[in-house]
Amino acid sequence: MINVTVIWALIILFIIQPDVAHEGAVSGAQLFLHALLPYLLPYIILTQWLLKMPTNRHQKSQWSRYIKAYVLGSFGGFPVGAVTVSEMKKSGELSPRESSLLLAACHAPGPMFIIGFVGNELLGSVANGWKLLIAIHLANVVFFLLSLIILRGHSIQPPQQSISHSSKTSPLLSSIKDSSSVILLVATTVIFFSSLGNVLSHVVSAIFPVDMEITKTLLLAVFEMTSGVQAATEYFSGTAIYPLLIATIISINGLSIHMQVMTLAKGASISILPYIAGRAWNIVLVPLLFLWMY
């Protein structure tokens, strides 16, 4: 756990560098409003709406539930996968072990972001965006299948049917209500970690003899993925390591996204250990797969 002294140190840093903290917060807010909210909110509402529609859950096969979770959760961007798996766990469609494995597998950036923004605008072609997207999903699927093989000797208990409570609230209104809390969580983490990364990069560059460009890119990559991608583009675009750097930053995801997923998983009582293992797997495998296809 983070020591209280560290928290007070960060508070002091924010106080003595209000302009730097403000710059990072504004950058994070603009990032959320222009790059995340427009495509994330509609998809989350529709996904929640679909998951809240009454279905015959006990008639669904094991693999049909897995495919449903992956298709709905992996193509809407972060943290739609965690939202989907958490909702299916709460509704009784997934067992605790299934939900923990799928939490790790159903975790990928949206196709619009990878193909349109990263591929077309940053890497110079839609084809490069497709290659990166394929590398991400291939790593996720292989991790999930290997996890099932490893746990083959351990019985995966069938999901428990949840007890439905009668409610006058329509599925659409309920999905909008639940989506608002998810969006607030995303906005809070993006703005906070963008500001924190900006402050720490200035402090590290002032104390240690390191290049500001490298420091800011590395710290933002650790704290907030999209800000890290923007910093890498600003400082390293056109260099030989640029494509590999982009793939690595996207594989790291950043603490902002990890906090979103862990908060949602905790709310549904889902173990995050497979998720942590899955992220370590992707950090190694995705850049290598992308470099091989690039």
| CA–CA dist 85, 76 (Å, integer) | 13
Note whether residue 180 is domain-resident: yes
Smallest CA-to-CA distance from 199 within 2, 3, 23 is with 23
| CA–CA dist 198, 202 (Å, integer) | 7
Token duo for residue 26: 């504004």
Q: What is the pLDDT of residues 126-179, one digit of tens each?
A: 999 999 999 999 999 999 999 988 877 555 555 555 544 445 567 778 888 888
Please report, rounded to a whole number, the percentage of residues in the chain having pLDDT higher than 90.
43
First CA to last CA distance, the chain: 40
Domain holding 272, by residue range, is: 17-52+59-153+170-293
Note whether residue 85 is domain-resident: yes
Identity of the residue numbered 93:
E
Q: What is the pLDDT of residues 24-59, one digit of tens each?
A: 899 889 888 887 788 778 888 888 888 877 666 555
* Alpha-helical regions (H) of the chain: 4-16, 18-31, 37-52, 62-74, 80-91, 96-105, 111, 126-150, 171-207, 212-223, 225-236, 242-252, 255-267, 273-293
Note whether residue 238 is domain-resident: yes
> For residues 262 and 77, which has the higher predicted lDDT (pLDDT)?
262
Cβ partners under 8 Å of residue 282, min gap 6? 136, 139, 140, 143, 251
Instruction: Report whether 289 contacts 135 (CB < 8 A).
Output: yes
| CA–CA dist 197, 208 (Å, integer) | 16
Note whether residue 11 is domain-resident: no
pLDDT of res. 129: 93
Instruction: Report whether 21 contacts 195 (CB < 8 A).
Output: yes
pLDDT of res. 70: 93
Note whether residue 158 is domain-resident: no
pLDDT of res. 164: 47
Backbone torsions φ then ψ of 163, nearest 5 degrees: -85, 120
Domains contained in the chain, number: 1
pTM: 0.85
pLDDT of res. 288: 95
Place of tokens 């950036």: 109
Note whether residue 8 is domain-resident: no
| CA–CA dist 266, 263 (Å, integer) | 5
Note whether residue 12 is domain-resident: no
| CA–CA dist 151, 213 (Å, integer) | 44
Task: Compute the mean pLDDT over every residue in the chain, rounded to the nearest whole number.
Answer: 86
Q: How confident is the model at residue 14 (pLDDT cuts 50, 70, 90)?
A: very high
Note whether residue 2 is domain-resident: no
| CA–CA dist 79, 39 (Å, integer) | 12
Q: What is the pLDDT of residues 62-107, one digit of tens each?
A: 888 899 999 988 888 889 999 999 989 988 889 999 999 999 999 9
